[in-house]
Amino acid sequence: MAKIGIVGGTGYTGVELLRLLAHHDDVEVAAITSRAEAGRRVDELYPNLRGHYDLAFSEPDAALLASCDVVFFATPHNVAMNLVPELLAAGTRVVDLSADYRIRDAALWSRWYGEPHASPELLSEAVYGLPERHRAEIAQARLVACPGCYPTAIQLGFIPLLEAGLVDPSHLIASAASGASGAGRQAKVDNLLSETADSFKAYGASGHRHLPEIEQGLAEVQGGPVAVTFVPHLLPMVRGIHATLFARLNGTTDLAALQNLFEERYRDEPFVDVLPTGMYPQTRAVKGANQCQISLVVPQDRDTVVVMSTIDNLVKGASGQAVQNMNIMLGLPENRGLTQVGLLP
């Protein structure tokens, strides 16, 4: 049984990892860290985990974490990049849910995150953890950079079109909306119930940190530069992302052919569900599940294809995808611990 460590266990992605791993037959969570909650029982802070864990939060201890087979970093940016080199040197494999290793260009990372990268020598080694693109590399990786939530939903929607060369890569548009949990478990006025309820707003419209990650991934698919206009929005709900994607077709505008393209591309992907023509994805259908549901239309038979992509930002957009990566790294069935059905209604 593999020993698992979690750094940063008190945030939403940390507790989501605990929820998913509680029913995973092949792993045991041996350590979970939190400087703020050190010494406090996990099930005291998260009573939904009562009966599943006999663990208390502890201070980060490199020696204890290095004794684990895989360590997850469920931390804000700039934490993993300081500790990961020591863990890799000890032979521990790492899945980082933060943004520290997603962008391979250290200068570009610094421009978006406002500080020098602490371990830039690892950026070229880190494998981008989108299994639908990099499954073979993930299996051999020491360090996996788990994709962001918006980038997951957006890339899965655009990938088949770019692989087939059917759209203009210089004119991609992503309008995406997320529940409030995407901002993390922290006190911010903008995230208060009275600020978010009965409202809908854009944010980061002039430039969002997920944009370079999205363009980097799609440029690899395209084999050349891409340009994405990305506008995120805040939804008055806890979980979920709905991404509406627009691309100008330079090939077929036949919806049946495009539908077939998506179905064939994702036919063997256990966590991507291409819906039948005329059926549109809903965030509630994937809530709690490691699932991306996709639908597409060509409005008025014109030259623009619209792809709709939904995920749970805390599952397929974060912790579920991290567990999916761990399963691949350990040679386990990819769906182990990830068979939850979406919570509908």
Q: Can you tell me the distance from the alpha carbon of 164 to that of 216, in angstroms, rounded to the nearest whole number?
A: 18
Two tokens, residue 214? 């999205």
Nearest 10 degrees: Cα torsion 310, 314, 317, 321: -120
Q: Can you tell me the distance from the alpha carbon of 112 to that of 89, in angstroms, rounded to the nearest whole number?
A: 28
CA 185 centroid distance within chain: 16
- Give all strands of the β-sheet with 127-128 in edge-to-edge order: 27-33, 2-7, 70-73, 93-96, 143-145, 127-128
Q: Can you tell me the distance from the alpha carbon of 341 to that of 345, in angstroms, rounded to the nearest whole number?
A: 12
Annotated active-site residue in 68, 146, 149, 292: 149
Two tokens, residue 130? 């989108």
Q: Answer yes or no: 68 catalytic.
A: no
Q: Can you tell me the distance from the alpha carbon of 178 to that of 342, in angstroms, rounded to the nearest whole number?
A: 17
Q: Can you tell me the distance from the alpha carbon of 211 to that of 76, in angstroms, rounded to the nearest whole number?
A: 18
Residues labelled catalytic? 149
